[in-house]
Amino acid sequence: MSACVRIRHDHTAHSSPPSRASGIKRPHSPPPPRRFRIAGADLSASITVFLIAVPMSLGLAVAMDAPLEAGLISAAIGGIVAGLLGGTPLQVSGPSAGLTVVTAELIQIYGWRTTCAITIGAGLLQILLGSLRAARGALAVSPAIVHGTLAGIGVAIALAQLHIVLGSSPRSSAAANALALPEQLGRLSPAAPLIGALTMAVLVVWPRLPGRIGRAVRRLPAALASVAIATAVAAVAAPGIARVDLPSWRSHALPELPQGPVLALATAVFTVLLVASLESLLAAVAVDKLTADRAAGRTADSASPVPVTPAAPPVRRSDLDRELRGQGIANVLSGLLGGLPVSGGAVRSSANVRAGATSRAATVLHGVWVLLAAGLLVTALEWIPLAALAALVMVVGFQMVNYAHIRNVHRHREFLVYGATITGVVLFGVLEGVAIGIAVAVAVALHRLARTRITVTDQGGQHLVVVRGQLTFLAVPRLSRALGQLPRGGDAVVELDGFFMDHAAYETIQDWSDAQTAQGGRIVFTGRSGGRIAEPASAAHSCCRPWTPWRNHHCHDQPGRPVDARRTTAAFAPGESFTVDQGPTGSVGAEADTRVTEAADATAGPTGRLDTPGDGAAVPRRTGAHRLASGLSSFQRNTAPLVRDELARLAREGQRPSQLFITCADSRLVTSMITASGPGDLFTVRNVGNLVPPPGAEAGDDSVGAAIEYAVDVLKVESITVCGHSGCGAMQALMSTKPDTPRTSLWRWLRHGLPSLERMTSRHHAWARISGRLPADEVEQLCLTNVVQQLDHLRAHESVARRLAEGALQLHGMYFHVGEAQAYLLAEGASAGSGVDEVFDRVGPCDPNHSRPYDITDLSDPTGLTELGDPGDHAAVSTPTTAAGPADPPGSGELERTSA
């Protein structure tokens, strides 16, 4: 609803509406009142989340030693209240896993009724902070501290619930739980541990059940399935085991005025506020990522030559301040009604997105189902063994210790902060652990800022100055002393190995460089790898820099910005130009001369998005003709002077490309960008679907064959690469081909991809795979298989077969994932046609020769939040091969293979 209200002082204007004959347009009618609509996808998603939320809520209540009905109350309030009022439509709120340890300690110290009052106080503070728009500031906490806190809480949860699984009760702290484990193991009773082990086994195995039966039963959430199976087994095999005991609602305890030291109570309120807010806001950001990934997976590129399935309705990004206010209101109501603290739930939210929810209706309905279950299913819930709920919560605790987070913080050299936070949370508590993590983070930052090493080496007439670390004002005296030792007017190379330089250090280096240059010296600045850091003076104050137009290739389109000589970008970026090159015979399909188009590619930008001016207004796109003319003018003015000498050399010597590169005409693929090549390096063939028609195909398809013959026999290329990519529209068209498809030009071309489709569905060929994971869906599987099949077509060409037999030519298969900006190379044996496994290996950033990529086993969640998934979602899977061919890959419900 609009917040703008029209105010008129001339009341006579309202006396009678203007007539149509007067020429005055009638004002638009007010929009109809918004209704709470429920889509079918939201209804099914709400049921899925409800089936997860009930056992999870009861399990968290058991873990906190709180009244079990309190878990159901907080789940219902979190779904209905936070779902209606929160700023993240698809986030599902409920009992907080992150607050398990904190709430259990508060209940033990102050009792249940005072804990409810503390929850109310934390909710009021959340409302206040949300009204002050402080939510975004909470995300400024170091990720190492946040993930370390969650991991420490996960360890504490797992240790506490392990005692319940073993048939005992948890102790007051994580350290006490760890010390008491030997004694507990010495007096073990078998019933509870066996039920707990059964629950965990089902949690792990359920998402990986193979075959059609597995695909059918996996629609039931693993959490519900594990608890249901454990309950059924316990009813038969262990009737005397401890079970859920839901007391009468008449005896439910409500909050009372808090009693205790004021400072201790204030600390408790602040702790609940901190953990609940951080958990909710981080989950909201993660839900945005999951929603964006889901939309990207269903949306076709506008340049795609074939229609695809319509995208899911767009979902707005989270309003974090509104989300914080909604969580605060939910906590106030939960505390007033005797419920647990509420926060955004990682497991529930992820299940909601994956189940296809499109609006907040799914979240609200889930809360309604929980409320109905609390009143109607009490008898059924009381059959659940406590050991099963404890095992479920223990697995959640294990998932909060995320290996992907550990790897990331180690890569960014923040593992010390992460480890200190975990240790502090486990040994002393949440608030103390966060304080320890912040103190260690500050100490590490100060150490890095103060640690700067400067060395000067004489290399025979030229000096090498190496600066290791960050350049701040603290290092300026040493830097000035080192630079002052160099002879005036001499040549020097300054190697800067750091990511920060403050103004004082910059001015020191700049003044010294200007003085040396004025006296005839030559100063070159490089990074650690030796790459030169420099740019023409004309670009020093421009919004774009030569050769680096990726983020600003539209900066000269901004309203009010004059067109001047400092613009340095081309008009087209990846995703903006759908390219079909012309072959040596004059037919469509191949690039006849690599010297100019690759130079143009080198100046394109990767985002395909429009920059926006400072006021946030969108920049209108230029028309095609204006964009082309502007881009050519920009090239002539800025880029052409930089490449003129190189192109002049190539014009004299002729083109001598070393590679033939066959790829798709998709506008998002910039060959020079993904191969780091320049003018004259690649002889490029681009067509719809990166297809290589086999020799002897029907007339009219000679363009690709002519380009191959010209590249192999005339240009003597040393290698040929067939490159496919993710989200290929041609492969989607092949998947949807029907017998009554019109025989258009596009269909007549795509028929050369039918062998790839047959290869994928045949049991006589191995599945093409990406190392470390299975293909995401059938389209990605076909994209990979198509690369392998086109290599087979390529070997059938006479010129290629001859050069292969001579050992003068190599073939390569390549797959480029557009969304991840990640290249994969087909294993050498499969590229040569002699390998059995068709595996595409990930090309790491530190492997220039690619003998083997350094990192091809990354099985982490791409969102970086493994705890968002159901238990066991991220374990490695492999594809076994049987005598009849490769078996169905476990857990690949989307990839169903049929007989050829």
- Asked about 4 being catalytic, the answer comes back as no
Catalytic annotation, pick one of 321, 581, 601, 666? 666
Find residue 466's DSSP bridge partners.
455, 495
Extract the tokens encoding 756: 């790839």
Length of the chain: 900
- Asked about 668 being catalytic, the answer comes back as yes
Sheet holding 822-826, edge to edge: 682-687, 659-664, 719-725, 810-817, 822-826, 838-842, 768-770
Which is it for strands 462-468 and 881-882: parallel, antiparallel or unpaired? unpaired
Catalytic annotation, pick one of 725, 842, 874, 897? 725
Dist CA 476 CA 483 (whole Å): 10
Helix 40-64 to helix 100-110 angle, to the nearest 10 degrees? 50
Q: Going by C-beta distance under 8 Å and a sequence separation of 6 or more, which residues neighbour residue 887?
A: 879, 880, 881
Residue found by looking up tokens 């290599």 in the block: 791
CB contact at 8 A, 523 and 496: no
Burial of residue 738, with CB atoms counted within 10 A of its CB: 0-12 exposed, 13-18 middle, 19 or more buried: exposed
Distances (CA, A) of 171 to 56, 65, 104, 175, 268: 21, 11, 10, 9, 20
Find the distance separating the first CA and the last CA of the chain, reported in whole Å.
56
Residue found by looking up tokens 């878990």 in the block: 71
- Asked about 728 being catalytic, the answer comes back as yes
> Which 3 state secondary structure label does DSSP give 349?
helix
User: Which is it for the CA torsion 607, 608, 611, 612, positive or negative?
Assistant: negative
CB contact at 8 A, 275 and 149: yes
User: Which is it for the CA torsion 595, 596, 602, 606, positive or negative?
Assistant: negative
Dist CA 280 CA 126 (whole Å): 11
Residue found by looking up tokens 């790829």 in the block: 663
- Helix (H) and strand (E) counts in the chain: 33, 15
Catalytic annotation, pick one of 116, 544, 555, 664? 664
Dihedral class, residue 560 (left if φ above 0, else alpha if ψ from -120 to 50, else beta)? left
Tell me phi and psi for residue 724, to 5 degrees. Answer: -100, 175
Write the single-letter amino acid at 436.
Answer: I
CB contact at 8 A, 589 and 703: yes
Dist CA 342 CA 97 (whole Å): 9
Extract the tokens encoding 111: 């009792």
Sheet holding 523-526, edge to edge: 453-458, 462-468, 491-497, 523-526
Extract the tokens encoding 534: 């420099």
Residue found by looking up tokens 């039920």 in the block: 195
User: 574: closest CA among 821, 767, 339, 329?
Assistant: 821
Find residue 464's DSSP bridge partners.
457, 493
Q: Radius of gyration over alpha carbons of the chain, in Å?
A: 32
- What DSSP string describes 428-464? T-HHHHHHHHHHHHHHHHHHHHH--EEEEEE-SSEEE
Find residue 234's DSSP bridge partners.
none
Q: Going by C-beta distance under 8 Å and a sequence separation of 6 or more, which residues neighbour residue 606?
A: 550, 573, 574, 670, 673, 821
Dist CA 249 CA 254 (whole Å): 11
CB contact at 8 A, 371 and 53: no
- Asked about 664 being catalytic, the answer comes back as yes
> Which 3 state secondary structure label does DSSP give 322?
helix
Catalytic annotation, pick one of 243, 668, 812, 842? 668
Which is it for strands 682-687 and 659-664: parallel, antiparallel or unpaired? parallel
Q: Which residues are catalytic?
A: 664, 666, 668, 725, 728
